[in-house]
Amino acid sequence: MAGSCDPPSPAPLKLYWIDPSCDEAAGGDFETLHVLEARHWAKRAYERLCSDTDTDFARVFNLIFKTPKTDTKFFPRPDNWQEVHGDHLDQWQTSSQHVLAVLYDFAHNWARTDNRQEADVRIYAGARGLSRWQPLLAGLDGSGNTHFDPINCLVASGVDRDNLQAFTAYFSTPTPVDENEHPLRGTIDLGPGAWAVPEPPQISVTSLSTLDPALLLSENNQDGAPVTITHLSRSLVTRLLLHEFMHVHGYLLDDSHDYDNEDGTAGWWFCMRRWKGEAAVCAEPVAMLGLWAALADMRPAGMARGGFTVERGWDEIPGGWEDVHPDGRDDDEAEEEGMKWDEDWMDGGNSALKGELRFYEDITN
State mean pLDDT over 43-58: 95
> Are the beta carbons of 144 and 138 closer than 8 angstroms?
yes
- pTM for the whole structure: 0.89
Q: Is the confidence at residue 319, as pLDDT, over 70? A: no
| Pairwise CA distance, residues 365 & 54, whole Å | 8
pLDDT above 90: residue 88: no
Asked if the model's pLDDT at residue 343 lies above 60, the reply is no
- Counting every residue, how long is the chain? 365
| Angle (nearest 5°) at CA 202 between 200 and 206 | 125
Distances (CA, A) of 297 to 164, 268, 274: 31, 20, 26
Tell whether omega for the bond before 201 is within 30 degrees of 0, i.e. cis.
yes
Residue 54: what pLDDT?
A: 94
Structure confidence at residue 315 as a pLDDT band (50, 70, 90): low
User: 230-242, pLDDT tens digit by residue?
Assistant: 999 999 999 999 9
Residue 163 above 70 pLDDT? yes
User: Is the pLDDT score of 91 beyond 60?
Assistant: yes
* pLDDT over threshold 70, residue 227: yes
If you average pLDDT over every residue of the chain, what do you get? 84
CA quadruple 16, 47, 218, 305: dihedral positive or negative?
A: negative
Lowest mean pLDDT among 159-173, 207-221, 284-298, 300-314: 159-173
pLDDT of residue 321: 45
Q: Average pLDDT in the 211-215 region? A: 94
pLDDT of residue 325: 45
Task: Identify whether the C-beta of residue 29 lies closer than 8 Å to the C-beta of residue 233.
Answer: no
pLDDT exceeds 60 at position 261 = no
- For the ranges 62-71, 117-126, 272-281, 332-341, the lowest mean pLDDT is seen at 332-341
Listed residue (132, 123, 255) closest to 186, CA to CA: 123
pLDDT tens sequence across 264-307: 788 998 898 888 888 989 999 999 999 999 999 999 999 989 99
pLDDT tens string 96-152: 999 999 999 999 999 999 999 999 999 999 999 999 998 886 555 555 578 899 999
- Percent of the chain having pLDDT more than 90? 50
Cα gap 154→136, rounded to integer Å: 12
What integer pLDDT is reported at residue 344 of this predicted model? 57
In the chain, what is the straight-line distance between the N-terminal and C-terminal CA atoms, in Å? 20
pLDDT above 70: percentage of residues in the chain: 82
Phi, psi at 345, each rounded to 5°: -75, -30
Distance (Å, whole) CA 40 – CA 228: 22
Q: Are strands 146-149 and 154-157 parallel, antiparallel or unpaired?
A: antiparallel
What are the residues facing 16 on neighbouring strands?
112, 121
pLDDT of amino acid 176:
63
Instruction: Give the whole-angstrom CA distance, residue 88 versus residue 78.
Output: 11
pLDDT of 146: 85
Q: Average pLDDT of 209-213?
A: 95
In the chain, the domains with their CATH numbers are 14-314+350-360 (3.40.390.10)
Q: What sign does the CA torsion over 165, 168, 171, 176 have? A: positive
Evaluate if residue 316 carries a pLDDT over 70.
no
CB 18 within 8 A of CB 38: no
List Cβ neighbours of 199 (8 Å cut-off, separation of 6 or more).
none
d(CA 35, CA 316): 34
pLDDT at res. 290? 98
Task: Identify the residue with better confidence: 197 or 28.
Answer: 28
User: Out of 209-223, 229-243, 259-273, 326-340, which region has the weakest mean confidence (pLDDT)?
Assistant: 326-340
pLDDT on residue 136: 80
Q: What is the CA radius of gyration of the chain?
A: 20
